[in-house]
Amino acid sequence: MPNSCEIGQALPRDTKCMASATLSMAAVANSSTALKSLQPSRKSTHDFPCLRTKRGFLLTFHPSAAGPSAQKRSFVVEAKLKVAINGFGRIGRNFLRCWHGRKDSPLEVIVINDTGGVKQASHLLKYDSTLGTFEADVKAVGDDGISVDGKVIKVVSDRNPANLPWGEMGIDLVIEGTGVFVDKDGAGKHLQAGAKKVLITAPGKGDIPTYVVGVNAELYTHSDPIISNASCTTNCLAPFVKVLDQKF
């Protein structure tokens, strides 16, 4: 897994961080690419029908007078999508790091499902042998929460996704990072529990559609409730292979 990164910047040394984080947003916004759709543009919210909910738009763009031209537009988050992370291993923790580094993210991580306990989860999030120490203030809160720079994220523990409280918590998107629930039956348990969408951070089995940022993310359709972000190998190799295939 990759180092900490911010979505919208240049590709990090390992593109899996970028791919996992941005494709989770692509699972909400039906756009040409996750990066372009989440940067300021001339499009209005009407160009992004998949940002609608029963109560209206989640995201919108507003004019900004900042800079030399008042014509610039800024990305404004009106209501964030509620995200759950299932599995707080390397991928789950790095997704949280990426999300934390993006202050204007349309996502809000509110719950983590992990069987290792909050003390272990908070320690591994703070101290990583590969990425180094996480700059955020991380601490365990009781036996069911982790505080990240003062934001408390609930921690639950259940090995069966069908038992998780996604419905009562209003979860819009589950980041499936265990590497276990990678087919429709397994990942579908999150939908049974009440989640609206599932993004698998590993190769999916069966006919689960796979999308890689920079390769085929523009093919995503909002009708897919479960999608895969492929493997870290695919995310590193496929964008370069695509360029070679197009040019030669």
Examine the residue annotation and report whether 232 is marked as an active-site residue of this protein: yes
Number of domains in the chain: 1
Q: Is residue 4 part of a domain?
A: no
Residue 210 has a pLDDT of: 96
Q: Is residue 119 part of a domain?
A: yes
Pairwise CA distance, residues 57 & 112, whole Å: 26
Model pTM score: 0.72
In 45-144, DSSP assigns E strands to 52-53, 56-57, 59-63, 73-77, 81-86, 107-113, 127-128, 132-133, 138-140
Question: Considering just the CA atoms, what is the radius of gyration of the chain in Å?
Answer: 18
Cα–Cα–Cα angle for 11, 110, 16, nearest 5°? 20
Q: Is residue 50 part of a domain?
A: yes
Tokens for 182? 């990678």
pLDDT in tens, 192-216: 999 999 999 999 999 999 999 999 9
Residue 98 has a pLDDT of: 93
C-alpha dihedral sign at 89, 95, 98, 100: negative
For residue 18, pLDDT over 60 is answered with no
The CATH number that applies at residue 218 is: 3.40.50.720
Between the two ends of the chain, the Cα-to-Cα distance in Å is 30
Q: Is residue 2 part of a domain?
A: no
CB atoms closer than 10 angstroms to residue 235: 24
Pairwise CA distance, residues 75 & 86, whole Å: 28
Q: Is residue 195 part of a domain?
A: yes
Give the residue numbers spanning the domain of 103: 15-247
Pairwise CA distance, residues 57 & 72, whole Å: 21
Catalytic residue among 5, 17, 98, 232: 232
Q: How many helices (H) and strands (E) does the chain have?
A: 7, 14
Q: Is residue 6 part of a domain?
A: no
Residue 104 has a pLDDT of: 86
pLDDT in tens, 68-122: 444 545 555 467 899 999 999 999 999 999 999 998 899 999 999 999 999 999 9
